[in-house]
Structure 1
């Protein structure tokens, strides 16, 4: 096991903290390990009529627009409540049923963040309540076959959305 000798915060803001730790590897070799501490988030697969509602927005780190399932980290007492908030904020949809699919580590070699994936069914439309950073967000419904094609042709590259879809397929 890796032993932590010391830790220091090298950068912090409201969304993340970057740590740099002095470590010693199991064979005694010293080293440094940097990682990002981030809050967990929820992802919701809004499923309807053998298809899904997707959102698309400009993602600054990759400098392009990206299609994905609704996701984020709303402040709520439970993950289910957080998922309901994110779904409604981004799509305007309300779910009669919300089923937990699983928790996945977002980038376990770089970050502490995990994703909590849900599937939402029994959807009814309503008004969105998007955050200011989501003002350019668009949404659309796509069939399951079209969604899979979007993954294969590179239109959906969000790893969290693809991983959550994998959980959905495995759990049925």
Structure 2
């Protein structure tokens, strides 16, 4: 049985640079009505950049929404109609300065489908060449690198709290044939 909600009415109440917000009136399967607040987002590319010596390049940046500096994999918003692989290359270079000769798509996932349509496209980047980072003018980023096992420990220690980064790190571990602790 497929459960659906039919949209009766949809109204955009905010349109910003990163997101838009709409309110939908929906008909539920039992014919009652409800309201859904939907954050619209154009999607993002998420990159796990791996150096030749097996380290993963991470970025640390302040996130106003949680009032904390978070350790994250590089990622960024898709431009309208942009191919996620192009976005992945651009964001990797902008945030870290690295350029990848081998950008491998893994899978896509929704960041928070209970209230947002944002879809994230995950890539592993290898064959890296270091260059100069060019973050957006309002981004202040510290670039750091860790071994995969260290990152997995940091997740369980509560030191990495960003969901896309947690997904990306465990996916990279699986992709590389490591166990849940990041060991081969």
Q: TM-score range by the shorter chain?
A: over 0.9
- Spell out the pairing of 1:3-152 with structure 2 (5 A cutoff): 3-48=6-51, 49-73=53-77, 75=79, 77-134=82-139, 136-152=140-156
Would you say the 8 A contact 1:90–1:129 is kept in 2?
yes
What secondary structure sits across from 1:133 in the alignment? coil
Which 4+ residue blocks in structure 1 deviate beyond 4 angstroms?
A: none
Would you say the 8 A contact 2:55–2:146 is kept in 1?
yes
TM-score, normalising length: structure 2: 0.88
What secondary structure sits across from 2:50 in the alignment? strand
1:153 to 157, 174, 183: 157
Give the number of aligned pairs: 171
1:50 Cα deviation after fit: 2.3
**Stretches of structure 2 lacking an aligned partner (at least 5 in a row):** 177-184
Sort the Cα spacing of 1:132 and 1:18 in 2 relative to 1 into closer, same or farther, 3 A: same
Deviations 1:101-154 (A, max 9, x none): 1100111111011000100011111011110121x2101111111111111111
Provide the alpha-carbon RMSD of the alignment.
1.4
TM-score, normalising length: structure 1: 0.94
Would you say the 8 A contact 2:42–2:78 is kept in 1?
no
**Stretches of structure 1 lacking an aligned partner (at least 5 in a row):** none
Q: How far apart, in 1, do the equivalents of 2:132 and 2:106 lie?
A: 26
